[in-house]
Amino acid sequence: MKAFQDYYPDNVAHCYGCGSRNDHGHRIKTYWEGEESVTRFTPESYHTAIPGYVYGGLLASLIDCHSTGTAAAAMYRAEGREMDTQPPFRFVTGSLHVNYLKPTPLGGALEIRGRVKEIKGRKVVVESTVFANGVATATGEVVAVQMPESFGA
Amino acid sequence: MKAFQDYYPDNVAHCYGCGSRNDHGHRIKTYWEGEESVTRFTPESYHTAIPGYVYGGLLASLIDCHSTGTAAAAMYRAEGREMDTQPPFRFVTGSLHVNYLKPTPLGGALEIRGRVKEIKGRKVVVESTVFANGVATATGEVVAVQMPESFGA
């Protein structure tokens, strides 16, 4: 099954967090599970905050790209279109807000689950939660904005 | 001159963003310039968002660690103590909010400048701005919380 990110146009698929064409990046993959979008990602051993816990900047990055991917997928859904139809949707981040609820243990996969809170014109608001071993450790809200056509040109 | 991060105790100096003991991380260095704290950091060529622009997750990470470092330094200042005195101050992130004002061009050093907005008990609120070539491209607010003594033990 193709992930949301697999539908990003090649010229805008270099994002360090989610671009399939960035060899150094996280290359996250996001899928629908019913009304929720889900990314599963295993941090590297060096993605440390305090020893034993995941770096908060990585969590912010995962929430960010998970949410912009969800925004794109949500826009296709809202238009009743498949993700391989034209024109493609690609979103950038207008704002990112993360609340760290508790330390996120390092070791094993994290699950980021998102829900669309609002679609308004070119903006999509996505609420995402990071789970470690089934426990919510951080929540985020991203205002994603449809990328201007001039980007990546 | 030693940076704020050079005073972090060894057992909590592994952060991917700012730990001097993390060989894979960004190892940012922050200093006072009057009432402002300043970090200068040059992204790698692969820290891409859209080609030609800096990955927003990296900007969030820089704001995060710059702000927790500023929080620690501010607490020493508030107590009239040098940063090499005991007990050490080390902060974690309670919340992180980033507004992306415009795309941040990739190439050359970024400057992150911070100001302490409020100190209240164990919390310090820091406002930080990312500048590229002197132009503000993102602003952030971090609520930094003094690390529980149990961390890193």
Q: Give me the phi and psi of B64, to 5 degrees please.
A: -60, -60
Query: A152 pLDDT band (50/70/90 cuts)?
Result: low
Q: Which of B64, B75, B139 has its CA nearest to residue A54? A: B64
Q: Check residue B152 and give its pLDDT.
A: 58
* Cβ density class A118-151: b for 16+ within 10 Å, e for less: ebeeeebbbbbbbbbeeeebbbbbbbbbbbeeeb
Give the nearest chain B residue to A95 (CA atoms).
B99
CB of A104 within 8 A of CB of A22? no
Alpha-carbon distance values, A153 to A8, A11, B47, B52 (Å):
14, 8, 19, 11
Query: B149 pLDDT band (50/70/90 cuts)?
Result: confident
CB–CB contact A97 B92 (8 Å):
no
CB–CB contact B57 A56 (8 Å):
no
The model's pLDDT over B16-33, given as tens digits with 9 standing for 90+, comes to 999 999 999 999 999 999
Give the nearest chain B residue to A64 (CA atoms).
B57
Task: Please state, in angstroms and rounded to a whole number, the distance separating the CA atoms of residues A136 and B90.
Answer: 24
Token readout for B112 is 């992150």
What share of chain A has pLDDT > 70, as a percent? 97
* β-pair type (A135-146, A91-100): antiparallel
User: What's the CATH fold of domain B4-152?
Assistant: Thiol Ester Dehydrase; Chain A (3.10.129)
Residue type, A10: D
| Mean pLDDT, chain A, whole residue set | 96
Please state, as a whole number, how many other Cβ atoms lie within 10 Å of the Cβ of residue A100: 23
Q: Is the pLDDT of residue A93 over 70?
A: yes
Give the nearest chain A residue to B66 (CA atoms).
A57
Q: Check residue B151 and give its pLDDT.
A: 67
Alpha-carbon distance values, A71 to A102, B11, B39 (Å):
26, 40, 32
Task: Please state, in angstroms and rounded to a whole number, the distance separating the CA atoms of residues A122 and A146.
Answer: 5
Residues of chain A contacting B104 with CB distance shorter than 8 Å: none
**A95 Cβ partners below 8 Å, 6+ apart?**
A142, A143, B97, B98, B99, B100
Write down the domain spans for chain B: 4-152
pTM: 0.96
Least confident stretch, A26-30, A145-149, B45-49, B101-105: A145-149
Residues of chain A contacting B25 with CB distance shorter than 8 Å: 46, 48, 55
CB pairs under 8 A between A and B: 137
